[in-house]
Amino acid sequence: MTSNMATDLKLRDRILEQSRDEFLSRGFSKVTLDEIATGLGISKKTLYKYYPSKEELLRASLHSMMRSAGWELERIASSDKPLVEKLASALMLVGKYVSRIRGETITDFQRFVPSLWKELDQYRQEQIINRLIKMLQQGRAENVFRPEVNEQVLIYMLVSSLRSVIHPAILSKHSFSAEEAAMSIFKVLFEGAFTDEARKEFHILKNSTELL
């Protein structure tokens, strides 16, 4: 890789990181390309060289975030750690990402870029939710969950809980972190779903190791 290519990739990464932070905290409609360019210390012309529209920049920045989440989930899923530990680590990871997205931001995306939001929501389903479901199905095969537990219902209870609790408006009023909230949600939802043996394994794990 030439030095010019390396510089080019570094700038592209900076653009994605800066724009992602802006879009997630303020939504699509309230962010301008002028503000992003100014924050990066580059011209708007340079920004257009990489991303010709605000919508393309939003798409690239959020796809980048979800790809990272997908890769991290895959790393956790493919590790040789006990399944109970992998589930807890995966939940804390998802909680970390969910905590970055405000409810008002989602509403803004749905209103102003509905087709893009639909595309991103489908990507989220394929890359994040489906990976979690596979882990839960593995848990079913290994008798980690009680037989009457429905994995898909458990996943959607989990996602709803994360969205409700791990929210900037909630976190700003309390002393617990996003990771602590995620672990509490895990304990409430999953301990009730675990078999007695898996529940004992989780308690031993919780007391003896650090997750993630």
Tell me if 36 sits within 8 A of 19, measured CB to CB.
Answer: yes
Tell me if 100 sits within 8 A of 166, measured CB to CB.
Answer: no
Tell me if 167 sits within 8 A of 102, measured CB to CB.
Answer: yes
Q: Tell me the per-residue pLDDT of 69-82, one tens digit each, with 9 for 90 and over.
A: 889 999 998 998 88
Q: Tell me the per-residue pLDDT of 104-135, one tens digit each, with 9 for 90 and over.
A: 888 899 899 999 888 887 887 777 778 888 88
- How many residues are present in the chain? 212
| Euclidean distance between CA atoms 126 and 208, whole angstroms | 33
Residue 212: band (very low, low, confident or very high) from pLDDT cuts 50, 70, 90: very low
What is the rounded average pLDDT of the residues 9-23? 94
HSE, side-chain direction, 13 A CA sphere, residue 148: 1
pLDDT of residue 6: 72
CATH code for the domain defined by 59-208: 1.10.357.10
